Structure 1
Amino acid sequence: MVKEVIAKAWKLAFPMDVKCLNKDTFMFIFNHEVDLHKVYVKRPWSIRGGHLVLKKWSPDITRQEVYFSTSDLWIQIHGLPTPWRTEDNLRKIGAKVGAITEVDITGDPGGAWKRFIRVKFEVNISKPLLPGIFRPRPNKSDLWIGLKYEKLAVLCYQCSIIGHD
């Protein structure tokens, strides 16, 4: 089932093998580096509503050493004033959310009027996802910066953890 679903979604140029390591861990064996790169760059993926955590694996580590509690997620950052749209401020937000892996500076046109900034973070998905953060402002009340997660699988709106509803 997994191989059938991902074959349709990934549209690979070359054949790929899937090995079931246990009930929720699979090894994808790509026959060409181009397919591997395409799939890895376009993360995150989901399979039938479940979040698919993709990790590169090398034979010098055991599969128990692969850390599946983090995943790259695209996050829209809403409500960020134009002067705060700097790498330094994104890193401050990232300190609360996760490590920045990519910033989409070419997204929707609009410059200063752009509704949000897209940033890909490596997020610990075993912990609750933040709906947003408050950022302090001098001589004004703290500003709420909303976070919207793209392509999320099942998310519990009570505990904010991926994997159940």
Structure 2
Amino acid sequence: MRIAWDLAKEVKTRPLEDNLYTMQFGCLGDWERVMEEGPWTFKGKAVVIAQYDGFTKPSIIELNKIDIWMQIHDLPDGFFPKIKALSATVGEFIFAEPKSHDFEGNFARVRLRIDVTKPLKNAVSLVIKKKDAVQRVIFRVKYERLPDWCAVCGYLGHLFKECGDGVHPPKSLVFKDLKATWFKGLGNGPGEGRSSYEGNGS
């Protein structure tokens, strides 16, 4: 992970028990990079990191959430004010990247905090009224830098060939197209230049 994180200073890592460690960073910039620029993976598996105060029992720290970029594809500009509500059905909304004319790609980007113990979603939807009818509009979603996931059940942590007996007909791979193949980087994030639809979820 030191190579992936490209740290400026040494990080002190202490093993606590199987698959549980504490890390002490040598500078604030390294700590912010690791905490804010994920998700991180090791051999395809998600690396789950949480801030630690040094006084809580390490064994009770909840390590079940990661921050990730989600793309909502083919979302009309007129629905952009609904992006927080759309995203809340997938995870905890952190912020949305503002729409701009120099953006390339038919999707909106949202930063989310998702629960790794729950299955991913492959779509979000809106219910809209058209004249006298009510219609549900569905939008496909994809995730940037997605760790290993199962195309059958949607859970992180294993591949579809490791799910059940590993033999699945193509029609059962309903979560197969969740990984974004194109993304432009980390995005603007909170702060200067934020749109009115950004901000912490509540």
Structure-2-length-normalised TM-score: 0.71
> Contact conserved, 2:74 with 2:139, CA < 8 A, in 1?
yes
1:55-94 matches, cutoff 5 A = 55-86=50-81, 89-94=82-87
Q: Gaps spanning 5+ residues in structure 2: where?
A: 160-202
Aligned AA for 1:81?
Answer: P
* Aligned 8 A contact 1:107 1:118 in 2: no
Instruction: Name the aligned partner's letter for residue 30 of structure 2.
Output: D
Whole-angstrom distance in 2 between the partners of 1:106 and 1:29: 37
Residue number in structure 1 paired with 2:43? 48
SS of the residue corresponding to residue 155 of structure 1 reads coil
Is 1:97 paired with 2:90?
Answer: yes
Letter in 2 for 1:64: S
8 Å contact kept, 2:99–2:108: no
Aligned counterpart, 1:3: none
* Structure 2 residue identity aligned to 1:156: C
Once residues 111 and 54 of structure 2 are traced to their aligned partners in structure 1, the CA distance between those partners, rounded to angstroms, is: 27
Identity of matched residues, % = 23
- Any conservation in 2 of the 1:79–1:144 contact (CA below 8 Å)? no
Partner SS state of residue 150, structure 2: coil
Q: CA deviation at 1:134?
A: 2.3
State the 4+ residue runs in structure 1 displaced beyond 6 angstroms.
none
Normalized per residue, the structure richer in strand is 1
Q: Distance in 2 between matches of 1:48 and 1:106?
A: 34
| Aligned-pair Cα RMSD in Å | 1.9
Output the CA distance in 1 between the equivalents of 2:39 and 2:151: 20
Question: Are positions 1:20 and 2:20 aligned together?
Answer: no
Q: Which has the higher helix share?
A: 1
Is the counterpart of residue 119 in structure 1 residue 110 in structure 2?
Answer: yes
Q: In structure 2, the residue corresponding to 1:85 is in which secondary structure?
A: helix
Deviations 1:113-136 (A, max 9, x none): 851111111111101100012211
- Relative to structure 1, the CA distance from residue 97 to residue 44 in structure 2 (aligned partners, 3 Å threshold; closer, same or farther) is same
Which residue of structure 1 aligns with residue 149 of structure 2? 155
Gaps of 5+ in 1: 1-5
Aligned residue-pair number: 156
SS at match of 2:78: helix
**Hey, what's the Cα distance between the residues in 1 that align with 2:88 and 2:63?**
20
- Shift of residue 59, structure 1, vs aligned partner: 1.4
- TM-score normalised to the size of structure 1? 0.86
